[in-house]
A and B are shown apart, each in its own frame.
Chain A
């Protein structure tokens, strides 16, 4: 079976700067792959290369013939002068029946939103509607660029369960970008750590303990990441150099209570 997507040495420039400097990756059918990486590391650019919005400067991108992509962008600014109901939005660019629209909304936990204006939705509802629209194309590949932004924690946990469930029902592959490292790791088959190029990839546990990954996320990420590592320390008992990361966080908290 051929890969859905294969990138070899893909290079891309934005605003005169080389953002992707040789990305190699392969995505198989039905796989859930997560891209992690610091801000500005080219994650969104990579997604845009795959949908064909950013031209390659070098290397190659091969897509399976007839590949249908459902795309949820990181940002979608709807101009306030554009009146757009949820129902109408779901019918872009291909018109869908009322039944199909209702079913897609129901699927993502957004039943009954049809009549609302896109501009009036809450952040979480908006993300759900974006996902519903992406599903309506019956995609072979779902591309989600930080799709859980604006969702509360239970909401994003539900979201990842939904992704898993959708993969089973629709058999689609999922390529997603996320900063919620602890949740993402649990939800994906494979993790790619990106910083202009793929610095490391593999099963979540493997990536989390890779030195390249540590180099990128090792310091200054006391929050969710420390929590994640904490849990994993107990599971695997691997690596003692984490205490380093915890210390500044504690100092920080003490500083706050003193003040």
Chain B
């Protein structure tokens, strides 16, 4: 069954979608949207380094994404404005990455494959990495969930209950770097942040608890991955962007439903 490239692609997309959803919720709640961007953009630098030093792409990307995330975490505690800092880091990381890639001689790199992913080229060992990484991320999040949530809500509340918010942020950073590293082949660096954010944002109107939001986001993520893959076959479009397009359509639909529902509620209470 795994010999079929379509089945492998579907499984890869599913793995990334499932892991990205709860993580994306945390990213949204903590207003770290650009953090995902910055980490993801740094991944190009990781690709260049792994080619230069003959490492696996996964390792190179993981190392760079992790260092980037740690650097941003540390600097943000030093009084720099977070959005400025992330902007600087994200754009310079991708620029350095592209320059570094041009220095790697002898190897012809299909840069597009790393920017937009190449889900149809996912092999069996890639699948192992993706599902291993996804399981690790989900396990980590489940284990730390209560503490992560408390620290997200308010760092002082966490402190007062004996939770170290810095440690929880480190856990989150680690999970983020892991997801970026496993997702680069599937959706590419430009779209990883989208897979984190869009399903989570779309899930917001349908949830009354954090867990419900993560679950709904996971469903949306999975539907986007599978549906996007299918759509790219039907319309002969690039797969990574198709997945994100579908997620965006779902977000639009969810927002519409929310607006309509609010309007109906507003009208209802006026009628009383």
Query: Using a CB–CB distance below 8 Å, which chain A residues touch chain B?
Result: 15, 48, 51-53, 69-71, 73, 76-79, 81-85, 88-89, 92-95, 117, 137, 143
Contacts and interface: CB of A to CB of B under 8 A. Distances in A.
A145 B189 CA distance: 45
Interface residues of B, number: 28
A84 B210 contact: yes
B147 interface: yes
- The 5 A-B residue pairs whose C-beta atoms are closest, nearest first, are A71-B160, A51-B160, A93-B150, A53-B159, A83-B207
Nearest to B205: A83
By CB atoms of chain B within 10 A, which of A51, A53, A88, A92 has the most?
Answer: A92
By CB atoms of chain A within 10 A, which of B31, B155, B156, B163 has the most?
Answer: B156
Main secondary structure of the interface of B (DSSP, over half): helix
Nearest to A143: B160
B146 A51 contact: no
A83 B157 contact: no
A83 B149 contact: no
Nearest to B213: A83
B159 A52 contact: yes
Interface string B129-155: 000000000000000001101101111
A76 B213 contact: no
B158 interface: yes
Contacts of B155: 53
Interface string B38-68: 0000000000000000000000000000000
22 contacts: A15-B79, A48-B156, A70-B160, A71-B157, A71-B161, A73-B154, A73-B157, A76-B154, A76-B157, A77-B154, A79-B29, A79-B30, A81-B29, A82-B29, A82-B210, A83-B209, A84-B209, A85-B209, A88-B210, A92-B149, A92-B153, A117-B208
B158 A93 contact: yes
B154 A95 contact: no
B28 interface: yes
A142 to B, nearest CB: 11
A130 B195 CA distance: 34
Interface in B105-129: none
B244 to A, nearest CB: 20
A93 B147 contact: yes
B104 interface: no
B212 A94 contact: no
Interface of B: 28-31, 79, 146-147, 149-150, 152-161, 163, 201, 204, 207-210, 212-213
A93 B163 contact: yes
A95 B212 CA distance: 16
A15 B28 CA distance: 27
Nearest to A82: B29
Contacts, number: 70
Main secondary structure of the interface of A (DSSP, over half): loop
B199 to A, nearest CB: 13
B146 A92 contact: yes
A83 B163 contact: no
B29 A92 contact: no
Given A92-B149, A93-B146, A93-B163, A71 B156 contact: yes
A204 B147 CA distance: 39
Contact of B208 (A76, A81, A83, A95): A83
Nearest to B147: A93
Given A88-B210, A93-B147, A81 B156 contact: no
Given A52-B159, A82-B152, 18 more contacts: A48-B159, A51-B160, A53-B156, A53-B159, A53-B160, A69-B160, A78-B153, A81-B28, A81-B29, A81-B204, A82-B29, A82-B210, A84-B209, A85-B208, A93-B161, A94-B146, A94-B161, A143-B160
Nearest to B203: A83
Nearest to B158: A93
A52 B150 CA distance: 15
A88 B146 CA distance: 11
Contacts of A88: 209-210
A92 to B, nearest CB: 5
A76 B210 CA distance: 17
A92 B147 CA distance: 8
Contacts of A78: 153
Nearest to B26: A82
Contacts of B159: 48, 51-53
B156 A92 contact: no
Contacts of A84: 153, 209-210
A70 B154 CA distance: 14
Contacts of A79: 29-31
